[in-house]
């Protein structure tokens, strides 16, 4: 198909208009500024009442979120941190979920000012992996590193359109790679892709995608329009703003939203993320499964000095993670290898639940196993280049268990069901059991001797807790645990 025709047929206006309220979208700029202005000086009592509500795993109101954004008193910040940790413990216990990004192509028809993949960047080396190359990447990810979850990343271009995406996901799922004791495979493919129509999203859902992620980048419309030229597909603010509505309508249970922090005022963006979350709950009955908060990083031919005005300091970044944890207590929070190891470590104590590891973001990067980061083929520069083994060791040293569980998705504990289970603390039961089963599997198949030494006591502590707290499920759990220890794989409750 001619490229212009392809571009001109991407956006279906009726699939935007049907969700509008009297022609208005859900980002009411004036209202957001008003809430931020009115809640600049909350009292201690007000903040403590808000924290009680968060701890009861209830969504906060816009005024309450605005109030938390403005808290500066160190005593109250300490209380916010304490509450965030309690929420994390209540909903997710001491588990952390890991995944790897898999970039399959860097062709793109858009021209986002901050991105190295933009069409006008003629220095970028463009490439799309074919199915055999994809399988080779997955053999390394699932057979050598030990990942069970991927987020597969695509630019917007006919070379990686919906047909390519579907074929590539089938290729990912088809790989079963031998390991030390058993086999490794990818059990959940999440997708970070452009906004699609409902019809395309149905096809994507049917191929077995876990979470569909699209980040708005910035919710501030004038900034959005300045950074995303109007003559590009991405230049259409509302097509992107309503893609999660379409995904949920198409059958997806799990959707992931996010902001690229540093493009505009972080306070406005946090409020907008929360408004997006409420809108999805109100209109579609399901909030976002995850929220991501990448900070802008250097990229080839993307002059970051233009973004200095809204650069998010480390202190503000920690504060915004805290506010998100408290505002939407049941939602998963993802921090990526854009951030340093030290920041990721702090994020864990603020309630973050997922992170990537051993990440390569250049096309074919896992095969290249580049010793240096290849600027010409990657979207931005990474802050944390540690291996999965090193990160898991670090988590274990802090008492966290790494969960490779993908059972919830495969037994229907997703969407509204998972939200209810998370709100009531019930999901924790299944997660704890499956975290231990999958961690046993990972240690036996992939852990270095040093990591085994540190991770094994964490695992044994979890088993002791299961025995004590879940006597009804312990026998069933133990039977599966012993089968995994004997070399069987992919067993779950």
Member of 92, 99, 103, 117 binding ligand SF4 (CB under 6 A): 117
39 or 110, CB closer to ligand SF4? 110
Q: How far is the CB of 160 from ligand SF4 (least distance, A)?
A: 10
Q: For residue 331, state whether it binds ligand SF4 (rule: CB under 6 A).
A: no
42 or 364, CB closer to ligand SF4? 364
DSSP state of 234: G
83 or 359, CB closer to ligand SF4? 359
194 or 329, CB closer to ligand SF4? 194
Site string for ligand SF4, 232-251 (x = CB under 6 A): --x-----------------
Q: How far is the CB of 76 from ligand SF4 (least distance, A)?
A: 37
CA 256 – CA 259 distance, rounded (Å): 11
CA 232 – CA 246 distance, rounded (Å): 20
Query: Of the listed pieces 15-23, 43-51, 111-119, 131-139, which binds ligand SF4 according to CB under 6 A?
Result: 111-119
115 or 134, CB closer to ligand SF4? 115
Q: How far is the CB of 429 from ligand SF4 (least distance, A)?
A: 39
Among 380, 392, 395, smallest CA distance to 295 is for 380
Find the length of the chain. Answer: 493
143 or 262, CB closer to ligand SF4? 262
Q: How far is the CB of 46 from ligand SF4 (least distance, A)?
A: 39
How many Cβ atoms from other residues are within 10 Å of residue 305's Cβ? 6
- Residues binding ligand SF4: what is the number (CB under 6 A)? 9
Q: How far is the CB of 203 from ligand SF4 (least distance, A)?
A: 21
Alpha helices per DSSP H over 101-161: 131-140
Q: Are 190 and 149 in contact, with CB atoms under 8 Å apart?
A: yes
232 or 345, CB closer to ligand SF4? 232
Supply the DSSP string of 461-489, one letter for each residue. HHHHHHHHH-HHHHHHHHHHHHHHHTT--
DSSP state of 302: B
Q: Residue holding tokens 């085994």?
A: 452
Query: Of the listed pieces 114-122, 244-252, 274-282, 460-468, which binds ligand SF4 according to CB under 6 A?
Result: 114-122
CA gyration radius, the chain: 22
CA 354 – CA 211 distance, rounded (Å): 13
118 or 325, CB closer to ligand SF4? 118
Under rule CB under 6 A, which residues in 140-169 are in contact with ligand SF4? 155-156
Q: What does DSSP say about strands 332-335 and 354-356: parallel, antiparallel, or unpaired?
A: parallel
CA 471 – CA 225 distance, rounded (Å): 57
67 or 296, CB closer to ligand SF4? 296
Q: For residue 124, state whether it binds ligand SF4 (rule: CB under 6 A).
A: no
Member of 54, 83, 94, 110 binding ligand SF4 (CB under 6 A): 110
Q: How far is the CB of 258 from ligand SF4 (least distance, A)?
A: 12
Facing residues of 356 across strands?
99
119 or 254, CB closer to ligand SF4? 119
Structure tokens at 142: 């699932």
Member of 10, 118, 267, 344 binding ligand SF4 (CB under 6 A): 118
Q: What does DSSP say about strands 183-184 and 177-178: parallel, antiparallel, or unpaired?
A: antiparallel
Q: Residue holding tokens 């408004």?
A: 275
How many Cβ atoms from other residues are within 10 Å of residue 170's Cβ? 14
CA 251 – CA 190 distance, rounded (Å): 15
Under rule CB under 6 A, which residues in 436-465 are in contact with ligand SF4? none
DSSP state of 178: E
Within the chain, how many helices (H) and strands (E) appear? 22, 11
220 or 234, CB closer to ligand SF4? 234
Among 352, 363, 296, smallest CA distance to 321 is for 352
Q: For residue 115, state whether it binds ligand SF4 (rule: CB under 6 A).
A: yes
How many Cβ atoms from other residues are within 10 Å of residue 5's Cβ? 9
Q: How far is the CB of 269 from ligand SF4 (least distance, A)?
A: 16
Under rule CB under 6 A, which residues in 384-413 are in contact with ligand SF4? none
Q: How far is the CB of 355 from ligand SF4 (least distance, A)?
A: 21
155 or 210, CB closer to ligand SF4? 155
Query: Of the listed pieces 48-56, 113-121, 127-135, 410-418, which binds ligand SF4 according to CB under 6 A?
Result: 113-121
Among 327, 316, 321, 380, smallest CA distance to 345 is for 321
Site string for ligand SF4, 79-108 (x = CB under 6 A): -----------------------------x
CA 231 – CA 187 distance, rounded (Å): 38
Query: Per-residue b/e over 108-133, b at no fewer than 16 CB within 10 Å?
Result: bbbbbebbbbbbebeebebbbbeeeb
Q: Which residues bind ligand SF4 (CB under 6 A)?
A: 108, 110, 112, 115, 117-118, 155-156, 234
């Amino acid at each position: 198909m001619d490229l212009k025709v392809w571009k001109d047929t991407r956006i279906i206006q009726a699939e935007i208009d049907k969700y509008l309220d009297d022609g208005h979208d859900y980002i009411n700029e004036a209202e957001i500024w008003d809430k931020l202005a009115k809640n600049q000086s909350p009292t201690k009592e007000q903040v403590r009442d808000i924290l009680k509500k968060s701890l009861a795993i209830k969504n906060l109101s816009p005024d309450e979120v605005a109030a938390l954004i403005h808290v500066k008193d160190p005593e109250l910040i300490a209380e916010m941190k304490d509450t965030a940790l309690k929420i994390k413990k209540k909903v997710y216990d001491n588990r952390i979920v890991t995944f790897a990004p898999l970039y399959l192509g860097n062709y793109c028809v858009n021209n986002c000012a901050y991105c190295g993949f933009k069409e006008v960047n003629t220095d970028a080396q463009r490439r799309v992996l074919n199915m055999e190359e994809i399988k080779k990447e997955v053999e390394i990810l699932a057979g050598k590193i030990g990942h069970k979850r991927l987020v597969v990343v695509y630019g917007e271009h006919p070379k990686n359109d919906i047909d390519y995406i579907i074929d590539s996901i089938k290729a990912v799922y088809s790989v079963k790679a031998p390991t030390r004791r058993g086999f490794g495979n990818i059990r959940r493919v999440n997708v970070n892709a452009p906004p699609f129509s409902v019809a395309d999203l149905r096809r994507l859902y049917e191929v077995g995608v876990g979470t569909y992620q699209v980040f708005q980048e910035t919710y501030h419309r004038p900034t959005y329009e300045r950074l995303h030229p109007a003559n590009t597909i991405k230049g259409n603010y509302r097509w992107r703003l309503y893609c999660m509505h379409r995904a949920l309508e198409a059958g997806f249970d799990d959707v992931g939203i996010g902001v690229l922090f540093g493009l505009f005022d972080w306070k406005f963006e946090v409020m907008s993320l929360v408004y997006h979350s409420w809108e999805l709950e109100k209109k579609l009955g399901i909030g976002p499964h995850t929220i991501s908060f990448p900070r802008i990083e250097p990229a080839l031919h993307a002059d970051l000095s233009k973004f200095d005005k809204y650069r998010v300091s480390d202190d503000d970044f920690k504060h915004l993670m805290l506010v998100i944890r408290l505002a939407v207590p049941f939602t998963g929070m993802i921090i990526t290898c854009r951030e340093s190891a030290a920041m990721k470590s702090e994020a864990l104590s603020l309630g973050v639940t997922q992170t990537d590891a051993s990440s390569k973001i250049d096309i074919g990067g896992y095969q290249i196993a580049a010793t240096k980061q290849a600027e010409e083929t990657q979207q931005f520069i990474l802050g944390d280049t540690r291996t999965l083994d090193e990160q898991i060791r670090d988590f274990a040293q802090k008492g966290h268990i790494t969960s490779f569980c993908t059972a919830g998705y495969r037994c229907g504990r997703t969407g509204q069901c998972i939200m209810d289970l998370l709100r009531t603390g019930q999901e924790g039961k299944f997660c704890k059991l499956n975290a231990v089963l999958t961690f046993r599997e990972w240690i036996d198949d992939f852990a270095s001797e040093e990591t085994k030494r540190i991770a094994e006591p964490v695992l044994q502590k979890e088993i002791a807790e299961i025995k004590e707290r879940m006597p009804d499920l312990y026998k069933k759990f133990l039977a599966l645990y012993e089968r995994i220890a004997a070399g069987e794989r992919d067993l779950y409750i």
